Amino acid sequence: MITPRETTTAIGVDIGGTKVAAGVVDDKGAVTDRLVVPTPTHSPQAVEDAIVDVVNDLRSRHTVDAVGIGAAGWVDSDQATIRFSPHLAWRSEPLKARLESRIDVPLIVDNDANAAAWAEYRFGSGQGASVMICITLGTGIGGGLVVNGQLFRGTYGMAGEWGHMISVPGGHRCECGNRGCWEQYASGNALVREARELARTRSPLAYRLLESVNGDIEQITGPGVTALALEGEPTAIELLADVGQWLGQGIANLAAALDPDLFVIGGGVSAAGDLLLQPARHAFERTLTGRGYRPTATVALASFRNDAGLIGAADLARVSMSEPPGSGSGFWPRRRKRKPRRILRGRGPNVP
């Protein structure tokens, strides 16, 4: 019989562009306690302090075996340093070492969208998928890729940054420094920007948008637009459909490159449900290369939405305690020896 203390419990911390969400997660992926605080974006030290505060608060009420951090930034291949974050002040920040000096349980750091993808693969909508692409629509766009039960992080640990593929050359300026990135058209920030621009025109179409914030355009938010759309407000529905169309075109590009069997769409914007996914599916099927002559990947809503990052971070931390690097587990990338290609004279260079 397994006693409660034979079951590992971990804290997951999801650090996004606007909030730090933390929770105690059991080994079945259930969140038993949680905290949410605003993200202090002005300094790495302030973010570190916020992480330590929420972890200590939760540990004061729970016995915890490990802590997993899902960070909105580009985490290096050693899963220790955040090289860059478009939405926070991290620049080559040794986050793991800094936190380990203040938190006295095993701790891991990973990209927040990797953590979300892992949660969906392990416990949610991605269970059983062979090649699963997870797309998180929040302040920006994050992404994670699970192939045959393993998180794919790339050579330098920075794979899955779908949001910074160029969709519109010379388009809207992105926080990453480029112009026209996908997340400038298919994210929560994009939804808010378009809603506020429409409201500034004082168009009759924006009447309900303005009424909902008492005429204060700067108070228009993504959740506010989504709430209006779910109530049936036509302009809000149209704004979400525009985001959905950009989303669908982007996942068609990803399908051309990676050929997944499943796309899982999560993050705060996914709360719109089919108001977002139906136009996305339509645009995906309309722009997919080879359409009509190939199978089409499933596009599904995430099971955990805003909780996915903290659930996945906690589970990655829990798994890391029993499956060290090199074990070939889903947590750590497995390195395989590359087989040499046979070259047969007169039959081309790639004959098997």
CA 271 to each of CA 222, 266, 290, 301: distance values in angstroms, whole numbers, following the listed order: 10, 8, 31, 9
Give the H or E element holding residue 47: helix 44-59
With respect to CATH, is domain 4-118+306-322 assigned 3.30.420.40? yes
Tokens of 159: 């794979």
CATH 3.30.420.40 domain range(s) in the chain: 4-118+306-322, 128-302
Pairing state between β 107-111 and 66-71: parallel
CA 179 to centroid of chain Cα atoms? 21
Residue 72: its pLDDT value, please? 87
With respect to CATH, is domain 128-302 assigned 3.30.420.40? yes
Tokens of 351: 């004959």
Q: Which of 45-49, 231-235, 258-262 shows the lowest mean pLDDT across its residues?
A: 45-49
Of 134 and 5, the structure prediction assigns the larger pLDDT to: 134
Give the CA-trace dihedral at 251, 256, 261, 265, to 10 degrees.
-10
Radius of gyration over alpha carbons of the chain, in Å? 21
Tokens of 194: 């378009």
Q: Which of 123-127, 257-261, 341-345 shows the lowest mean pLDDT across its residues?
A: 341-345
Short-list 227, 219, 221, 265, CA closest to 244: 265
78, 92 contact by CB (below 8 A): no
259, 147 contact by CB (below 8 A): no
Query: Cβ–Cβ contacts within 10 Å for residue 308, how many?
Result: 34
Across the range 276-286, mean pLDDT stands at 97
What strand order describes the sheet that includes 91-93? Answer: 74-75, 82-84, 91-93
Confidence of residue 352 (pLDDT cuts 50, 70, 90): very low
Asked whether residue 344 carries a pLDDT value surpassing 90, the answer given is no
Confidence of residue 7 (pLDDT cuts 50, 70, 90): low
The dihedral sign for the CA sequence 73, 318, 124, 20: negative
CA 179 to each of CA 127, 169, 176, 248, 257: distance values in angstroms, whole numbers, following the listed order: 35, 7, 9, 20, 22
Confidence of residue 41 (pLDDT cuts 50, 70, 90): confident
